[in-house]
Chain A
Amino acid sequence: MAAKFEIRTTEENGTTVYYVSGPIDEESRFSEIEQAHEKLIVDFRGVLTINSCGVRNWVNCMKKIRGLDISFRQCPPAIVKQLNLVPSFRANAKVLSVYVPYLCFQCDHESRLLIEMNELARGKEIPAVRKCDLCGQDEMEIDGDESQFKMYG
């Protein structure tokens, strides 16, 4: 069964956290987030895909909450791609963390590493090479342009 778009809400230290999951497309609505006030975090970890109309719907949501203290966290590569392609996708939001995708040159295994932006700001580097947890070789490299994951540090 196909995953459905969903937004789940929790509170963390007085901040509302919105967990967005599933595919973001023309049918996705962000009414819960549009009603936010003051400070919020959007957790994108569960997002599977995002199409062009999904991007537009998100950008329209961001316009409605302009001026609030907005943070994005756990952004998967599909979201990082949009952060790079469409500046209004991010608008004035802070990016707290992103998943950097790795691909093994030996066995084509994929994995993701969560990178915190405040660690990059303190001088930590994104590992260029990692050990593959499937074949054990030190052959996992970043799948994509490293700079797109560092631009928020």
Chain B
Amino acid sequence: MSTAPKFDPNANDQLICGLFSKKEAAQMIAEGGTHIHSTTMGYRDEMARFSNALLNEKNPEPHPWQLLTNCREVTLGSSGERYKLIKRATVDMGIFSRRGYSEKVECVMEELITNGIYHAYVNADGSNKYRRDSSVKLEDQETLTVRYGATQEGIFISVEDKGGRLTLEDIGSAFYRCYYNPDNQIVDDEQGSGLGLYMVFDLVTHFRVDVFPGQRTVVSCWIAGRRIAHPSIFSFNFFKRGA
């Protein structure tokens, strides 16, 4: 069993640019890396330059792939609504008949929404407020905001919760466990399997997390269309705002 690297909070806010596998990126994230771009263009890559310009900003702007003019925004108030919403999203984005593409999108949306419902909210004692095996009706101040949109180049999805609990350390340890400890990938936890973010990260091209601690978390993804998708071109960005 591989031992997780030491998490270094001081590694934050440095751009790491090169050509990596997602497994290599997982190690960097587990060590505290917050802005990782795998690209054949090096530091000249447009998205890497964009991330570089956002470093150390308390309120970083969205990446260009997060700005879609035809983006839809839906409020989700219960766990039971999520499957209907996901189906509707694949129809709205015009990919319902493209089975392979819609399978990826459905998987990403479901994992992000499920995380938002079951992991974002806690009781006073720190325990999860909602059990994974229960049907959940979120309170008004807990509703999720789901955004999605499609262009010829790809698909944008984001899920925003009002908990603001996700940390870089959580993400890094999950990625590291899943990529480097194949015999111990799955967590024996009633709240989930511990595979969700790993599955999402594997499927998407760009992955960005914006956390306002204690207030909200926004997880945004871009799934590149077939014509421009390349397994070695991807990015990971983690912004902790208001810190």
Contact = CB atoms under 8 A, between A and B. Distances in A.
B18 interface: no
Interface of A: 2, 26, 48-53, 55-56, 59, 77-78, 81, 85-88, 101, 103, 105, 108, 110, 143, 145
B193 A56 contact: yes
A53 B202 CA distance: 16
B195 A55 contact: yes
Interface of B is mostly: helix
Contact of B195 (A49, A52, A78, A143): A52
Interface residues of B, number: 30
25 contacts: A2-B83, A49-B106, A49-B107, A49-B110, A51-B114, A52-B193, A52-B196, A52-B199, A53-B132, A53-B193, A55-B195, A55-B199, A56-B193, A77-B100, A78-B103, A85-B195, A85-B202, A86-B185, A86-B186, A87-B182, A88-B183, A88-B186, A110-B99, A143-B100, A143-B226
B133 interface: yes
A105 B152 CA distance: 12
Most buried by B among A52, A53, A108, A110: A52
A55 B231 CA distance: 23
Contacts of B101: 110
Interchain residue pairs A-B with the least CB separation, the first 5: A56-B193, A52-B195, A52-B196, A87-B182, A52-B193
A145 B232 CA distance: 11
Contacts, number: 69
B227 interface: yes
Contacts of A50: 107
Most buried by B among A48, A77, A81, A85: A85
A122 to B, nearest CB: 27
Contacts of A51: 107, 110-111, 114, 196
Interface of A is mostly: mixed
A110 B107 contact: no
Given A53-B132, A59-B186, 10 more contacts: A49-B107, A49-B110, A52-B114, A53-B192, A77-B100, A81-B202, A86-B182, A88-B182, A105-B227, A110-B101
A44 to B, nearest CB: 13
A29 to B, nearest CB: 13
B198 interface: yes
B186 A56 contact: yes
A78 B103 CA distance: 7
Contact of B133 (A26, A59, A88, A101): A26
A49 B110 CA distance: 11
B186 A55 contact: yes
Given A101-B100, A108-B98, A145-B231, A52 B185 contact: no
Nearest to A104: B226
Contacts of A77: 100, 103
Contacts of A2: 83, 87
